[in-house]
């Protein structure tokens, strides 16, 4: 389970593929219809390379709360 949540604003995302190209863990993919999807969120390391490179500010990476510590 990933420690990070990946949120995509579908209204802003134009599926340019920059996030797909820059993600070191390859969590994003483009569908056959060239629509960007989050395919493997569980592999996200929270580096925010996708968030920082997105020209449309359509991605937000946040750390999930740790609910195991009481």
CATH number of the domain where residue 13 is located: 3.30.70.20
DSSP per-residue string spanning 16-69: -SHHHHH-TT--EEE-TTS-EEE--GGG-----HHHHH-TT--EEEEEPP-TT-
Does residue 68 lie within any of the structural domains? Answer: no
Identify the pLDDT of residue 20: 96
Identify the pLDDT of residue 66: 73
Structure token digits, residue 32: 């056959």
Identify the pLDDT of residue 70: 52
Parts of the chain with a pLDDT under 50 = none
Identify the pLDDT of residue 1: 62
Structural domain range at position 42 = 4-63
Q: How many domains does the chain have?
A: 1
Does residue 36 lie within any of the structural domains? Answer: yes
Identify the pLDDT of residue 33: 92
């Amino acid at each position: 389970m990933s420690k990070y949540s990946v949120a995509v604003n579908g209204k802003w995302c134009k599926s340019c593929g920059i996030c797909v190209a820059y993600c070191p863990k390859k969590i994003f993919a483009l569908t056959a219809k060239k629509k960007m999807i989050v395919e493997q969120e569980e592999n996200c390391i929270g580096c925010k390379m996708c968030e920082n490179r997105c020209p449309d500010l359509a991605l937000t990476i946040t750390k999930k709360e740790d609910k195991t510590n009481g």
